[in-house]
Amino acid sequence: MLGPPLVLSTTRTGAAPRLGVTVWLALIGSVLLAWAGGAMLFVAQLADSWDHVGQVLVGCVAGLRLIVLGGYGRGLQAGLVALAALSVVALAMLGVRVVVALCRARRHTRAHALTALIAAGESPRGPGGALVIDSAQPAVYCLASRPHTIVVTRAALEALGDHQLHAVMAHEQAHLRGRHHQLLAFTGALSKILPNLRLFTDGATDIARLLEMCADDAAARRHSRDNRGPTR
């Protein structure tokens, strides 16, 4: 609850985007691990203390003392088992939904790459083997398929100078080398599955912004900021 506003306030300027992404992933990962660890510890403690589950409850929740003074019946034990089972099932469902979302995103990316390949037809490849598509909309983007694909429209080729085009290609290549698509797919899946938790929704949005800055920095290291060539 407290983490997202604090992290957003420190990453707003984008001064250290890679560090910002690391902080977000550490925060998200720690929460997921805490959930999984809590469920596993609860189940393990319940199994280990099955014969004296009453003493465990008395030690953990003092407010239940009035209930346990009368002894425990099978109903309470069954309730604890059901609670443990629900915890495990909830985490399992979360994991399954994340995997399904990742698989769906992967299939969509592959289909998009195939469509781009068909649209490019016999057109000569662009810089770095990029697919060139006839379109009036200037655009350059990457697709993490097999093999990785960078798509550039003919309008973008006409609008960008040589130096600008190579800088844009370096930006897209940085996305592919850094496997940014995997991070975006994972955080995006969490934000859709748990849309009411700011940790995942704000985290997914800010990580996407910071990854763009990381790719910008990688391109800027390879191409001078001052030699910009003609503008659009």
Where residue 225 falls among pLDDT bands split at 50, 70, 90? low
Q: Which pLDDT score is estimated for 229?
A: 43
Q: Which pLDDT score is estimated for 67?
A: 42
Where residue 29 falls among pLDDT bands split at 50, 70, 90? very high
% of the chain residues with pLDDT over 70: 79
State the Cα–Cα distance between residues 195 and 127, nearest whole angstrom: 40
Q: How far is CA 61 from CA 55, 209, 220, in A?
A: 10, 44, 57
Taking Cα atoms as reference points, which of 170, 176, 183 lies closest to residue 149? 176
Q: Which pLDDT score is estimated for 13?
A: 86
Q: Which pLDDT score is estimated for 212?
A: 94
Query: What integer is the mean pLDDT of 190-196?
Result: 87
Query: What integer is the mean pLDDT of 203-214?
Result: 94
Query: What integer is the mean pLDDT of 83-111?
Result: 78
Q: Which pLDDT score is estimated for 70?
A: 44
State the Cα–Cα distance between residues 124 and 130, nearest whole angstrom: 9
Where residue 174 falls among pLDDT bands split at 50, 70, 90? very high
DSSP string covering 109-147 = HHHHHHHHHHHHTTPPP-GGG-EEE--SS--EEEE-SSS
Q: What is the mean pLDDT of the chain?
A: 80
**DSSP conformation class of 69:** T
- Phi first, then psi: what are they for 142, rounded to 5°? -115, 155
Q: Which pLDDT score is estimated for 114?
A: 78
State the Cα–Cα distance between residues 180 and 185, nearest whole angstrom: 9
* Residues in a beta bridge with 151: 131, 141
Highest-confidence segment of 26-35, 62-71, 78-87: 26-35
Interval 152-165: pLDDT, tens: 999 998 888 888 88
Interval 179-189: pLDDT, tens: 998 899 899 98
State the Cα–Cα distance between residues 186 and 204, nearest whole angstrom: 9
State the Cα–Cα distance between residues 114 and 166, nearest whole angstrom: 24
Q: Which pLDDT score is estimated for 58?
A: 55
Buried/exposed code over 145-177 (b: 16+ C-beta within 10 A; e: otherwise): beebbbbbbbbbeeebeeebbbbbbbbbbbbbe
Highest-confidence segment of 31-40, 116-125, 213-222: 213-222
